[in-house]
Structure 1
Amino acid sequence: MNSTQYYFSFYSSFDMAFSGILTEAEIAAGLQSCQAADSFDYKTFFVKVGLNSKSKDQLIKVFRILDQDRSSFIEEDELKLFLQNFSASARALTDAETKALLAAGDSDGYGKIGVDEFQALVKS
């Protein structure tokens, strides 16, 4: 496999991660809502991409995608790259946005977001 094929294969599977959960149009609408630095609002984003109306099982699948290191938690470094899970070309969250998202989701104060906390955050 040459580098072009690898690149295409990687990004095709990357885009397929949310297949069956979110549409391309939903993802585009969510990303459109927060293109500028410091414009990310998790409640708006979750509504725009349609996550707030997804089932518990679908949210668990999304959580697993966001939990890049498979630690069963979404940590601050993973939150910084949150938008890039939805599109490789999306921007990283600013430090302020990352900390705000973590604070909103970390209800037990351990500095990371578990699956139950993530579901509560999306539905809030």
Structure 2
Amino acid sequence: MPMTDLLKAEEIKKALDAFAAETFDPKKFFELIGMRAMSAENVKKVFQVLDVDGSGFIEEEELKFVLKGFSEDGRDLTDAETKEFMKAADKDGDGKIGIDEFEAMVHE
């Protein structure tokens, strides 16, 4: 499913542009892109698009490319940004982000 089925293309572009040269802040990104206003069900659909390997988790390697999941124009996260994102979302400390952890972070 293309991300534009879930989110507006112009909001995706605006959010990606905001972090093109700035340090990535996932909570601010989710707000800019309109995900905080989405239902839990739709946030979980976004998660499923970002879970490239279909494992039910977003692992650190997938997280590095998370912005490309929103648009091919998205940049890769730096190692530091990836680690910060993981630390903020991985509440159970298992080294990966589950669907419920992702949804909780979006709506925090």
Same fold (TM over 0.5): yes
Greater relative CO, 1 or 2 (CA 8 Å, sep 6+)? 2
Work out which of the residue numbers 34, 48, 66 in structure 2 matches 1:50: 34
Aligned to 1:69: 53
Aligned to 2:19: 34
Gaps of 5+ in 2: none
Higher-helix-fraction structure:
1
Higher-strand-fraction structure:
2
Q: How does 1:95-110 map to 2 (within 5 A)?
A: 95-110=79-94
Aligned to 2:78: 94
Gaps of 5+ in 1: 1-15
Aligned to 1:23: 8
Larger-Rg structure: 1
Aligned to 1:123: 107
Distance 1:81 1:20 in 2: 20
Counterpart amino acid of residue 26 in structure 1: E
Deviations along 1:43-98, one digit per CA (max 9) or x if unpaired, are: 11001100111011101110100100000000000100010011112110000000
TM-score (norm 2): 0.95
Q: How many residues align?
A: 108
TM-score (norm 1): 0.83
* Cα RMSD, aligned residues only: 1.1
